[in-house]
Amino acid sequence: MPKVTFIGAGSMEFATTLIGDILSFEELSDSTISLMDIDEHRLAQTTTVAEAMVNNEGVDTTIEATTDRREALEDADYVLNMINVGGTEPFENEIRIPQKYGVKQAIGDTIGPGGIFRGLRTIPIMLDIGRDIEKLCPDALLLNYTNPMSILCKAMYDATEVKTVGLCHSVPHTAEALTDYVGIPTEELDYWVAGINHVAWFLEAKYEGESIYPYLFDAMDDRAVYKQDTVRFEMMKHFGYFPTESSHHMSEYVPYFRTDQAVIDEMTGTTSAGRMPTATYLEGWKDRSKQRDGSQPDDELTESTVQLSEEYASRIIHSLETDTSRRVNLNVSNETSAITNLPSDACVEVPALIDRTGIRPCSVGELPIEVAEFSHQHTTVHELAVEAALENDRQKVHRAVKHDPLTAAAISLDEIHEMTEELIEANEEYLPALK
């Protein structure tokens, strides 16, 4: 059975969720799971919980743990990537420096100055991982969970021969939200979604063969429902399609919601998905990081039973290993022109069919013009950010940030230049050697 390697396994909650997913499939229960992280304390935490899960389930899964990446990758069949490069300091800089200039990011890990600079500091390590995979397990499939998803996957497509797909749970989470808003069973929603990661669109959403969009527009008129997802309902109202990422995230991907504090306050919703204040993810991430650095797994974690989450990784592995056909939304290269009005070298998020023969992106055709440009303008940012990292090109860093919609709406070109220089100086030790 397969060897599944986790790079960045010190992210205990997420890693153990994915381990539990693998253990939930009987056909995968005698896999080897190799856990790797450079942080020995966090790696030990994840290993403790993983071994407890194996013992609780009484399965034959082998758990390995190492701080040596090459050892973990040796003969791997699947590589799950969930690394975080640099820790708290660069993340804080990527949020607080733009905030000082007037760019108010909610999360800042995917797009915007935060996403661009997170990509720049992560790409060199991703390429190192890619080179190790090419030498030690060249047939392995890299399943990437690390953000910025599109930037990192595109870097792998452009600079390595590693088979790479990006995984995100925003589509199933959105499907669950939609069915909650209109009162239908989630498992009975038939949907067709495409775009780029975090800026994709429910092109179709049907229940019993009928579009639920009229019911979504009706639901939006209920103030209590509207306040749960303000930004996404506004985007649907004005552009016709519901986007895949939470209102919290979506607010920083477009120029309409975060340049005026009164609008931020007005659009803040009633759920975690509807939060709008600046830096909420950063502060939550810092709190969780402190907890992981100090505590040991409690009895509740070590006594937990296995259950299948909504994450795609285990389903992909199961389909490839057992020839079970599935369709899930994945981030893939657009080299097959799955979306014909986005660049062929972009990373796109589209439906994909999976079985023993491999992963086959579905043909979507053209995105509707009214939403295609939202995805397209970000592919320009992705292209410039990746080229900047691969070519050590300082000018392309500047141009990537200047093309970001929120940044361009908030401050002038000269201010963007000054802000970008300050970000480069603050995070220089983590970045490529920009010239």
Mean of pLDDT values over 207-219: 98
Residues 6+ away with beta carbon under 8 Å from 4: 22, 31, 32, 33, 34, 76, 77, 78, 79, 80, 317
Mean of pLDDT values over 252-274: 85
Say yes or no to pLDDT of 35 above 90. Answer: yes
pLDDT, tens digit, 9 for 90 and up, residues 147-198: 999 999 999 999 999 999 999 999 999 999 999 999 999 999 999 999 999 9
3-93+105-167 CATH choice from 1.10.940.10, 3.40.50.720, 3.30.70.2190, 3.40.50.150: 3.40.50.720
Q: What share of the chain is helix, strand, coil (3-state, %, to 5)?
A: 50, 15, 30
- pTM for the whole structure: 0.95
Nearest Cα to Cα of residue 273 among 254, 249, 252, 257? 249
φ, ψ of residue 150 to 5 degrees: the values are: -65, -40
pLDDT, tens digit, 9 for 90 and up, residues 274-314: 666 677 777 777 777 776 666 666 666 666 668 899 999 99
Active site residue 248: no
pLDDT, tens digit, 9 for 90 and up, residues 336-352: 999 999 999 999 999 99
pLDDT, tens digit, 9 for 90 and up, residues 314-324: 999 999 999 99
CB 110 within 8 A of CB 147: yes
Domain ranges, ordered by start, for the chain: 3-93+105-167
Of residues 41, 169, 248, 403, which has the active-site annotation? 169
